[in-house]
Amino acid sequence: MRHVLIKIGIALGTLGFVLVFNFFLFRVAGDPAKDLLRNPRITPEAREALIEERGLNEGLVTQFRIYLVNTLSGELETSYSTNRPVLTEITEALPNTILLVGTATLLSAFIGSWLGVVAASRRGRASDTGITQGSLILYSMPEFWLGMILIWLLAVTLGLFPTGLKVNPGQEFSSVGYVWNVIQHAALPILTLTLGLLGQYVVIMRSALADVLNEDFVTTARAIGLPNYRVLRDHAVRNALLPVVTLVSLNLGFVVSGAITIEALFSWPGIGQLTVDAINTKDLPMLQGIFLFTSAAVIIANLFADILLTYLDPRVRVS
Amino acid sequence: MTHLVPEAQHRASQQPRIGDVARVAARRAARFDTDTHVRRVRGTILPLGTWGVASTRGRRVGSIVTVLIVLASLGSIAADEQDAGRSKDWRLGYDQAFDAKINVFKAQVAASYFVFTEVYDTFPYNWRLSDAGPDLENSLVTAREISEDGLVYTFYLREGVRWSDGEAFNADDVVFTYNAYRDAKQNVLAGYVSNMDSIEKVDDYTVVYTLKRPDARVLTAYTPVLPEHVWGDQALDEIQNFSPCCPIVGTGPFTITEYDPKGTTILEPNPYFWGPEGQIERILMIKYGDKEAQLRDIKLNQLDAIMIGDTKWVAGIEDDPSLQAWSIPSPGFSSIAFNLCPPENVNPDNSCTGPAEGVNWQVVQDLAIRQALAWAIDRQDLVDTVFSGQATPGNGLISPFYKRYYTSYAEDPEIGYRYDPDRARQILAEGGWACPSDGVCTKDGIPAQFELLVRSEVQQEQNAAKRIVAWAADVGIQIDLSIVTTDAMIGLNYEQSPEDKNKYQPNFDAFLWGWAGDLPSPDFNFEVTLCGGYWSDTFYCNPEEYDPLPKAALRELDFERRVELMHEAERIVLRDSPYLILVHNAQIQVTRTDTWTGYAPQPEPNGFPFSASWLQLQILEPGEAASTDYAGAAFSIVGLLAGIVIVVAASRWRRRREESGPLELAPEGASARELVGAGDRRA
């Protein structure tokens, strides 16, 4: 229990650091007041009024104090660009991102570790080399490039998938039709992300399982005549799962930050797209909100992974 | 509005439909199912894993059937909706998100302005297509009288106009709108009413607009008329945060019926519209994450137009007969700006107190250097190489975009800066600079050398700068490039003066950037070079000769005289060269040539094909090609195949698990099954 409390304390400390760092990070990146410098329609007075409304005429310390008070009271300010509350924008984009990145993370974890098991149990054979090398090639490809190839091949040339967006524009749907249409649109980006993420699970699962398969208890299990699948399922894989579980729970933290390049490539309206739009318009409150939110998610996922590991692996508790 | 138009229905009936494919598959699946009905009867709802090994096959078939039926029914439900693409949609791709809740007091981006163009009329006039002047036929004002002194305008409003919600439009709305524009705490359109004294209603269809001083921009002001019954309750210091959506109430031809800034925003015709009826039934504004995706989709006939394209596309699009790229000169220019804040005797009106320490003012404030550079640059080469042909060589403050105001100085012997290095050398020699044949010129021991700031974010400007450095070196001027962020550049430009905190101490020699003026008239471009002007970035100051001219042009109501005054002012700026104007950059819009026809650029012939006036979309005619349906037909089949593969693979895997025997430590190359033999299969 004490161990868990310490972990929670560290997580809170990290979050506090992010809170402070976040503010200064974006101030260094640029002064949004300067972007208003050359709009031929704005009068000088109007420009001053806008700067004042955004609090950009205040000193950095005052701005920081306002930011801190607002954030701690759960208010993430208003986006400069859309003029809507940052929290609303984030919560609207979140389900889309979870659908895309969450599904891809789970799929790649399942398929990847399954392929890892296959590769490890056939070590040195052609299928092992194929799986390992293939997934590593996919993993090292930039995702957007993989996505572009898949769009060209599967969407443009073969016409199997829509080329992008979340639903067909301007179409009225029944609820089933809507869901089906979203599935169609989500399929290709999910496929891209899944292929891109597979590699890490394959490699980790394969190496962990390979180690376990050399252990004495596996030889024992084989010696007592257990079928291969039972050796794997009941004895080897369970012991090799630990690093995969850690990896999955860490990656779940990144689910909410979206996949910036993939969302942009497929015009998918998630958090990644929100981030790109905010960067393009120097929308400080939005960027701060998104970064705070995603850092918090990663920190919480880390904490979760830590605690899960403590529960799963007695060695951690003892050490 | 959900019905299919007859053409679309006809089209739909001729096309193979996914529904059919899926239904056939479902029927086959159903037949397949009857073969195995015995087992299904025996154990339809038994939970998984409760059947004996002997029934593995049956279970497998059962699950395949279930999956197929689910997929087929999903597919056929969706298929009926799939064909609902409509040929009378006009589909516009854009990538910069809507801003400020589409509120005219605050919004600034192209998507929001497109909506304003379609939803509102501007007062007094919309802009006509030929030259962007006031459109006397298609506007809310039908007649006007102007007093002798140019201060009092009487406008007669169109009668019988209704707002898109059915309420009557009258003079109260105009009076409300103009007062709000003037008095709102925050308004990006405030510049258009900066000379307004008052606006009064005479009767329901007459307003009197009084100015503090004459202002030639009144007739082409960009001031959308807002309905008082919607906006009237808003406090003026909060009105910029009001959300008028949706539907946005206006008098223009369209209104927003579905607002989805992250997906597709739909505009449908205003049922009460007073003007010419168009053929477009819906405008779909489709938000993209990136520009290349829009180009791909317009090629696939999934878009009819792209709001903002890329200059790099133009060459490729020229080979494609189904697409047209519109290259529109921007209302501004790319230029090199010099630091002209003098080290002493600064005009008290100027907004600077002197250059910062280390500024090479002896060089950049020497007229011979600036003029020599102006002759040393090959602008056509910049256009051809750096801007891939998508720009116009420039040497005036007025871009060719302002058709009614533009004049070319290309042939002028004094200020028609062309590529002429000999002329540049001559000017340097006459200016007292001693130039060795290969090396840097000097004057009084000072080398002709200065630093040019270039923005790190804009690759084109960096490429242009590198060429300029070479041309300058050719005539004996050394330019040192310094690549900085836009923020840093602006910071150096407007460094606060230690002597007067309301003034600047510009800390740069020269910088390269571009900016654009306002659409209706080039007045803003002249404001930037006024002595002590709010927007001044060169600190150029010529109060006797230059400043009176733009101010007079602004007050001159005789259009030809106004343009003359502007040209006079332009010649002075070109002679003094606070800016070396390089090119007028191009903006790109793309349209399809076969789905909708009859695009009329505003202004002719090189203006915007849409988005400048609502009339542009009202006059479009449907083309021969219908819009394509979206991918999805094949997807159902892919879904079916994937489903089959998964189910088959799963059951095979399960069976193999059941079949596989104990693992022996096998010799290399032999599989466990070979060793154990077939006899153990059912063990």
Answer yes or no: is pLDDT of B662 > 60. Answer: no
Q: Looking at per-residue confidence, does A174 or B254 come out higher?
A: B254
| Structure confidence at residue A29 as a pLDDT band (50, 70, 90) | low
Give the CATH number of the domain where residue A200 resides: 1.10.3720.10
Work out how many domains chain A is built from and give that number.
1
Best mutation target among A26, A27, A31, A34 (most B Cβ atoms within 10 Å) is A34
Q: What is the pLDDT of residues B18-57, one digit of tens each?
A: 344 444 444 443 333 333 333 333 333 333 333 333 445 5
Residue A72 within any structural domain of the chain = no
| Model pLDDT, residue B47 | 34
| Structure confidence at residue A270 as a pLDDT band (50, 70, 90) | very high
| Model pLDDT, residue B37 | 36
Best mutation target among A48, A81, A82, A83 (most B Cβ atoms within 10 Å) is A83
| Model pLDDT, residue A170 | 85
Candidate from A239-243, B55-59, B598-602 with smallest mean pLDDT: B55-59
State chain B's mean pLDDT as an integer: 83
Q: What is the pLDDT of residues A72-119, one digit of tens each?
A: 887 778 888 888 889 999 999 999 999 999 999 999 999 999 999 999
Nearest residue, CB atoms, A169 vs list B191, B264, B486: B264
Answer yes or no: is pLDDT of B655 > 80. Answer: no
Chain A residue numbers touching B103 (CB-CB < 8 A) = 83
Residue A142 within any structural domain of the chain = yes
Contact A181 B632 (CB under 8 A): yes
Residue in chain B nearest A96 by alpha carbon? B262
Answer yes or no: is pLDDT of B12 > 80. Answer: no
Contact B662 A43 (CB under 8 A): no
| Structure confidence at residue A36 as a pLDDT band (50, 70, 90) | low
Residue B182 tokens read as 């003037």
Q: Residue B33 contacts by C-beta under 8 Å, 6 or more apart in sequence?
A: B40, B65
Q: What is the pLDDT of residues B214-236, one digit of tens each?
A: 998 899 999 999 999 999 999 98
Q: What is the pLDDT of residues B296-316, one digit of tens each?
A: 999 999 999 999 999 889 988
Chain A contacts in chain B segment 50-89 (CB below 8 A): 74-75, 77-78, 80-82, 84-86, 89
Residues B402/B403/B405/B408 CA torsion (nearest 10 deg): 100
Residue A115 within any structural domain of the chain = yes
Of the segments A30-34, B129-133, B649-653, which one has the largest average pLDDT value? B129-133
| Model pLDDT, residue B538 | 93
How many CB atoms within 10 Å of residue A229? Answer: 17
Tell whether B487 lies on the interface with A, counting CB pairs under 8 A.
Answer: yes
Q: What is the pLDDT of residues A122-135, one digit of tens each?
A: 888 899 999 999 99
Chain B residue numbers touching A46 (CB-CB < 8 A) = 186-188, 190-191
Q: What is the pLDDT of residues B358-382, one digit of tens each?
A: 999 999 999 999 999 999 999 999 9
Q: DSSP letter string over B338-354?
A: E----SSS--TTSSBS-
Contact B263 A84 (CB under 8 A): no
Give the H or E element holding residue A215. Answer: none
Residue A43 within any structural domain of the chain = no
Question: Token match 């002209």: residue?
Answer: B340
Q: What is the pLDDT of residues B421-480, one digit of tens each?
A: 999 999 999 999 999 988 999 999 999 999 999 998 888 899 999 999 999 999 999 999
Answer yes or no: is pLDDT of A307 > 90. Answer: no
| Structure confidence at residue B633 as a pLDDT band (50, 70, 90) | low
Q: State the Cα–Cα distance between residues B448 and B476, nearest whole angstrom.
A: 7
Residue A257 within any structural domain of the chain = yes
Chain A residue numbers touching B496 (CB-CB < 8 A) = none
Q: What is the pLDDT of residues B149-164, one digit of tens each?
A: 999 999 999 999 999 9
Answer yes or no: is pLDDT of B90 > 90. Answer: yes
Angle at A253 between CA A251 and CA A255, to 5 degrees: 75
Residue A227 within any structural domain of the chain = yes
| Model pLDDT, residue A251 | 87
| Structure confidence at residue A47 as a pLDDT band (50, 70, 90) | confident
Q: How far is CA B106 from CA A240, B112, B120, B524, in A?
A: 58, 10, 16, 19
% of chain B beyond a pLDDT of 70:
81
Residue A83 within any structural domain of the chain = no
ipTM: 0.89
| Model pLDDT, residue B429 | 95
Q: How many residues make up chain B in this entry?
A: 683
Q: Looking at per-residue confidence, does A315 or B554 come out higher?
A: B554
| Model pLDDT, residue B643 | 72
Q: What is the pLDDT of residues A277-305, one digit of tens each?
A: 888 877 888 888 898 888 888 898 888 88
Answer yes or no: is pLDDT of A198 > 50. Answer: yes
**Residue B527 distance to chain A (closest CA, Å):** 10
Contact A41 B106 (CB under 8 A): no
| Model pLDDT, residue B539 | 94
State chain A's mean pLDDT as an integer: 86
Residue B408 tokens read as 């070319």
| Model pLDDT, residue B77 | 53
Contact B101 A158 (CB under 8 A): no
Identify which of B582, B546, B566 has the alpha carbon closest to the alpha carbon of residue B417.
B582
Chain A contacts in chain B segment 294-313 (CB below 8 A): 296-297, 300, 302
Contact B531, B540 (CB under 8 A): yes
| Model pLDDT, residue A146 | 94
Chain B residue numbers touching A155 (CB-CB < 8 A) = 631
Residue A58 within any structural domain of the chain = no
| Model pLDDT, residue B680 | 40
Q: State the Cα–Cα distance between residues A44 and B521, nearest whole angstrom.
A: 19
| Model pLDDT, residue B21 | 40
Contact B99 A81 (CB under 8 A): yes
Question: Token match 């302002």: residue?
Answer: B402
Contact A260, A189 (CB under 8 A): no
| Model pLDDT, residue B517 | 83
- Full domain range(s) for residue A269: 94-280
Answer yes or no: is pLDDT of B13 > 50. Answer: no
| Model pLDDT, residue B323 | 95
Query: Could you check whether the bond before residue B603 is cis, i.e. omega within 30 degrees of 0?
Result: yes
| Model pLDDT, residue B62 | 66
Q: State the Cα–Cα distance between residues A288 and A22, nearest whole angstrom.
A: 6
Answer yes or no: is pLDDT of B635 > 90. Answer: no
Tell whether B532 lies on the interface with A, counting CB pairs under 8 A.
Answer: no
| Model pLDDT, residue B398 | 94
Candidate from B53-62, B128-137, B377-386, B501-510 with smallest mean pLDDT: B53-62
Q: State the Cα–Cα distance between residues B474 and B256, nearest whole angstrom.
A: 58
How many CB atoms within 10 Å of residue B242? Answer: 18
